[in-house]
Amino acid sequence: MTAPADVTAALQSKFPQVTPRPSGDHPAVNVSPAEVVAVLKYLRDELAYDFLVDVTAVDWGVEASPRFTVIWHLFSTTHHQYIRLAMNCASDTEPVAPSATGLWPAANWHERETYDLLGVKFADHPDLRRILMWDEYPYHPLRKDFPLAGIEVPLPDIEVAELTGASAKPAPMMGGPFVASSGEMNLTDAEPRAKDESWTERKVKPVSA
């Protein structure tokens, strides 16, 4: 399979609605929601763009319309070339995009992360739920209107709330609060440690001489 001299022209010959997208690095195109899956499949099966690098999205801000753009990056392991696909979401409040899980199983976690952090829902995803924040978390932290300091919400785990001494935090902390009091150690020689590190413990058997 030979790589097309101009992948954008090759796509437009099959999908006339595809348009070039300004890019400072790799070829990039704009794709309509109705054609995304077909274009991805054509790139994979006919043009050897067989590796899905990532799926993400951009929030252009509450004043922009369209506000959300979903991005797919593909790579050809045969021709060592990248391509970027961009799709504007029709809704500025409930963004939706087609799922690529039927083409690449790896799209599963990429789409879950994009849903979790930016609130983009992927139609026909087999298990669309949060992957970083807890299920009941009401916000999407990478949206432009989400404050950098976070938003205080009730912590979902009673034990975590007891450890932190608070019932609400701007964002969850893996492993609990760090404890490293001044004067107890040389902080330049030691990293902060969590109070409960049982999840990282490893039992290593001594090596016989």
> How much is the average pLDDT of 80-101?
97
Do residues 11 and 18 make contact, with C-beta atoms less than 8 angstroms apart?
yes
Question: What pLDDT score does 104 carry?
Answer: 98
16 vs 5: which has the higher pLDDT: 16
Question: What pLDDT score does 150 carry?
Answer: 84
56 vs 195: which has the higher pLDDT: 56
Question: What pLDDT score does 148 carry?
Answer: 85
In percent, how much of the chain has pLDDT > 70? 72
Q: Over 90: is that where the pLDDT of 160 sits? A: no
Mean model confidence pLDDT for the chain? 83
Q: Over 60: is that where the pLDDT of 92 sits? A: yes
User: Looking at domain 7-142, what is its CATH homologous superfamily?
Assistant: NADH:ubiquinone oxidoreductase Nqo5 subunit (3.30.460.80)
Q: Over 70: is that where the pLDDT of 76 sits? A: yes
The whole-angstrom separation of Cα 115 and Cα 122 is: 8
Structural domain boundaries in the chain:
7-142, 147-196
> How much is the average pLDDT of 110-131?
97
